[in-house]
Amino acid sequence: METYLGIDVGSVTTKFAVLNAADELIASLYLPTAGKPVAMVQRGLKEIGQQLPAEAEIMGVATTGSARHLAGAVVGADMVKNEITCQAVAAINYLPEVQTVIEIGGQDSKLIIIRQGIVTDFGMNTVCAAGTGSFLDHQASRLNMSIQELSRQALLGDAPVRIAGRCTVFAESDMVHKQQMGNRVEDIIYGLCQALVRNYLSDVGSGKDIQSPVVFQGGVAFNQGIIRALGEALDTEIVVPPHHEVMGAIGAAWLVHESMAGSRNVSRFRGFGVSEIEYQTSSFECRACPTLCEIVQVSVDGRVLAGWGGHCDMWEGSLISRGA
């Protein structure tokens, strides 16, 4: 049984998706990264392997996300792709006429403009948390409720309170003030959702030609309040795919299938047994030029598998490309 594996390792969550020869999703996994990307990739490989039938054979593996090079070195990836490409490919395959992709994760967010199936522009936010899922997580914690309950409460808000949400610190103090004024909690919560959407559109969406259809991807798409706020702000229907939380991994799997199918290349996938291997990561300062880049390496038993992190491609996936 021919299958293709995509792995998306982000700062907050790690996602896995397995497609069959017809590009149908047959297995997926969504795990917290918990600051341990190598351990989560190993755990995920073990769990996703248990979901697959015995006759399944991984014919290609691709990694994406902020820790894509690290994950690629660990699993023996055939392809390492950036998040923009993978998210766009997944959205186009789900809805070919898509023109805008909104992707909001735990600590970063993206906006991708697509015209006639081609990415023409994009924006990213990796600095401020005010337009990401961590903004809501922090406020839910302060209100002593789960993120699921916060989502439910947001739909009950019918007189949303404007929250000064350009910064999570200001948002928190503004929430306290609004509560002291006697505003309903559900109205404050929906005001928070609107604040996140305002932040996202004024930052990541600044100057972008946002047109429908709009596809909303990422873990924050679980939040019905954000879907509602986006729809109102953009005055359009927001399309949420069935597997929105793993779309990056799906896109990676689709791309490696396209690359490997029909070729004579044998996958470099190290097998599900890598979940039992002890990997080490280290870094050093490259002195090849005045930039002095910090290069990260991953190794096993003292043998370096790969390095990356420089401004040039001197170290980027060097040993992976040689088949290590």
Residue 154 banded pLDDT, cuts 50, 70, 90? confident
* 323-39-300 Cα angle (round to 5): 40
Q: Is the dihedral of CA 323, 3, 273, 308 positive or negative?
A: positive
H or E segment to which residue 189 belongs:
helix 185-203
pLDDT (0 to 100) of residue 48: 95
CATH top class, domain 96-240: alpha beta
User: Would you tell me which CATH number, out of the four given (3.40.50.2000, 3.40.190.10, 3.30.420.40, 3.20.20.220), belongs to the domain 1-94+243-277?
Assistant: 3.30.420.40
Residue with token string 């600095």: 127
The mean pLDDT value for 212-219 works out to 95
Residue 156 confidence (pLDDT) above 90: no
What's the pLDDT at 322?
Answer: 38
**Residue 12 in this model has a pLDDT that exceeds 80:** yes
Per-position DSSP letters for 224-270, written without gaps between them:
HHHHHHHHHHHTSPEE--TTGGGHHHHHHHHHHHHHHTTS-PPP---
Q: What is the mean pLDDT of residues 95-110?
A: 91
Structure confidence at residue 321 (pLDDT): 41
| Mean pLDDT rounded to a whole number for the chain | 87
Fold match flag (1-94+243-277 vs 96-240): yes
320: pLDDT strictly greater than 50: no
- Is pLDDT of 62 > 90? yes
Tens digit of each residue's pLDDT (9 = 90 or more) over 159-213: 888 877 666 667 777 777 787 788 888 898 898 889 889 888 988 888 999 999 9
Q: Model confidence over 173-187: pLDDT tens digits?
A: 777 778 778 888 889
Out of 53-57, 105-109, 234-238, 289-293, which region has the weakest mean confidence (pLDDT)? Answer: 105-109
Q: What is the reported pLDDT for 169?
A: 64
* CB-CB neighbours of 50 under 10 Å: 9
Above 90 in pLDDT, residue 151? no
Answer whether 184's CB lies under 8 Å from 157's CB: yes
Question: Domain segments of the chain: what residues?
Answer: 1-94+243-277, 96-240, 278-324
Residue 252 has pLDDT above 80, yes or no: yes
